[in-house]
Each structure stands twice: as structure tokens, then as C-alpha cells.
């Protein structure tokens, strides 16, 4: 199975690298791959969210017995494992292919960074919107840029570090 993932990763890396030359002056290839795979995973997230929300849950509440989740929140819970794994696989097999960490270390660290990013996203939006009174959309853009940079370096130096 690992050979298949490496082969698919190599194929995706070839496609991403094809679009790299115009960006060469602004960023290194690894950061470009990180951004491209992250953007691809974000589009996948949007599509999956749309499908689950509209066709699986059919915009209905999800009753779990002890708690009932609204459809928009339930959709996020349902899609999270899929988006998490696709993002992890893209980073492992396309962006950070030279990592010396073992797979179980990588996935645990990737999950840890994902939860930290969720917390930073919440705190950043509270800071920029509620405290500094920056428009919500602009706050979201600022926080997204800051988290993307933090996440890249966290993944590079912690999750997928090399010797």
C-alpha cells in the first residue's frame, strides 16, 4: 500500500511542480507544494461538505441519542476524518517526502498541529474581530495567512522533520 501512496504522491508532485516556475522568485518548491496541496485539500473539503450536508444529512439535524447536532456542525464532524487523512497523505507523500520520523509519529504530530490550528483560528478571530474590531472577512484572511505560515513551519520542523 505504501508503494501505491508513494507512486500517487509522485504523480501529484509532478503536476504541482509543473506550475511552480512562475512562483520560483517568491517561494521555495516545498512551500509551493505545501500551499498547492493545502489548497487542493481545501477544495476537496468544500466539495465533501456540500455533498454530506445536502445529500447525506439532507440539511437535517443529526440525533445521536444523548445529543443532537445541527446539520452544519454534524457535517464538519463527519468530514473531519476524511479531510484530516487526505491532508496528512498529501503532506507526507507530496510535500515532506524526506521526513525521517516514523509514520505513527507523523500522524500523531499532524493531529496535534491540526488541533492547535483550530485553537489558533478561534483565538485569532476573537482577537481581530472582537478586540481589534477588524471586519470579519478581513480577520479571517489575516488569521488564515498567519496559521498557514505557522502550520508550514510546524509541519516542516516538527511533524515531518528530517535529520
In this predicted model, what pLDDT tens digit does every residue of 142-160 receive, in sequence order? Answer: 988 999 899 999 999 999 9
Domain boundary among 49, 74, 97: 97
Region class of 28: left (phi > 0), else alpha (psi between -120 and 50), else beta: beta
Taking only Cα atoms into account, the Rg of the chain, rounded to an integer number of angstroms, comes to 18
Q: Are residues 147 and 135 in the same domain?
A: yes
Q: Are residues 79 and 124 in the same domain?
A: no
What confidence score (pLDDT) does residue 81 get?
Answer: 95
What confidence score (pLDDT) does residue 119 get?
Answer: 92
> Residue 153: CA atoms inside 13 Å, Cβ hemisphere, count?
5
Domain boundary among 73, 97, 121: 97
Q: Are residues 119 and 72 in the same domain?
A: no
**Number of structural domains found in the chain:** 2
CA distance 59 to 70: 8
Find where cell 507530496 sits: 94
The DSSP letter of residue 157 is I
Alpha-carbon distances, residue 40 vs 33, 36, 105 (angstroms) = 10, 6, 24
Positions of the chain with pLDDT lower than 50, given as ranges: none
Q: Are residues 59 and 22 in the same domain?
A: yes
What confidence score (pLDDT) does residue 163 get?
Answer: 78
Domain that holds residue 131: 100-163
- Write phi, then psi, for 24 (nearest 5 degrees): -55, -35
What confidence score (pLDDT) does residue 71 get?
Answer: 87
What confidence score (pLDDT) does residue 47 get?
Answer: 94
- Write phi, then psi, for 68 (nearest 5 degrees): -115, 130
Question: pTM of the predicted model, to two decimals?
Answer: 0.87
Q: Are residues 63 and 51 in the same domain?
A: yes
What confidence score (pLDDT) does residue 56 get?
Answer: 94
Amino acid at each position: 500500500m505504501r508503494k501505491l501512496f508513494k507512486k500517487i504522491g509522485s504523480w501529484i508532485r509532478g503536476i504541482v511542480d509543473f506550475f511552480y516556475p512562475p512562483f520560483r522568485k517568491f517561494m521555495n518548491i516545498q512551500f509551493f507544494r505545501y500551499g498547492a496541496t493545502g489548497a487542493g485539500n481545501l477544495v476537496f473539503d468544500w466539495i465533501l461538505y456540500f455533498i454530506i450536508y445536502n445529500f447525506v444529512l439532507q440539511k437535517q439535524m443529526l440525533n445521536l441519542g444523548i445529543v443532537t447536532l445541527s446539520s452544519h456542525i454534524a457535517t464538519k464532524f463527519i468530514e473531519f476524518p476524511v479531510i484530516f487523512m487526505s491532508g496528512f497523505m498529501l503532506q507526507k507523500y507530496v510535500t515532506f517526502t524526506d521526513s525521517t520520523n516514523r509514520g505513527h509519529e507523523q500522524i500523531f504530530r499532524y493531529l496535534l498541529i491540526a488541533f492547535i490550528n483550530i485553537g489558533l483560528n478561534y483565538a485569532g478571530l476573537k482577537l481581530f474581530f472582537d478586540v481589534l474590531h477588524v471586519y470579519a472577512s478581513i480577520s479571517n484572511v489575516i488569521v488564515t495567512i498567519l496559521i498557514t505560515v505557522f502550520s508550514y513551519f510546524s509541519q516542516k520542523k516538527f511533524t515531518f522533520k528530517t535529520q
